[in-house]
Amino acid sequence: MKHKELIRTVKFVLFSASAGIIETLTMALCEEVIRIPGHYICYTIALVLSVLWNFTFNRRFTFQSTANVPRAMLLVFLFYVPFAPFSIWLEHMLADARGWNEYVVLVINMVLNLVLEYLWDNFLVYRDSKDTNELAQKQTAEEKSLSDG
């Protein structure tokens, strides 16, 4: 069981890293190419895209959940009700108001997001529905046939 949770954590980190790439590329596009004024606006756009990406892949592959999608999305949205304004404020205060490098501030927010959202997803969103989708059932069947064989 501990092995399974370690694999789940590694998957979450890897999918979150891919969401981080989406977020960083979106930020760069908004800031450097489109030149949207206000770093926090670029961050907000990037955050929304990365959350959608992360939700989709972590639900299917990390938590292998059949949880009701609207309910799971609502719970993830509720995570972002306090987190998004806080992280947007942090982006604005550190990058816009104090002149910190916007990508350093982005990394700070990404690390906070990774840790807090993993805990939220694991212990609240998917608590009762982990390993219930067809991928998990197939994996369980394969493991059983190997142990029986």
> What is the per-residue pLDDT across 20-59, written as a single tens digit (0 to 9) for each?
899 899 999 999 999 998 777 888 899 899 999 999 999 9
Distance CA 123, CA 146 (A): 30
> What is the per-residue pLDDT across 55-113, written as a single tens digit (0 to 9) for each?
999 999 999 999 899 999 999 999 999 998 999 899 889 988 999 998 899 889 989 99
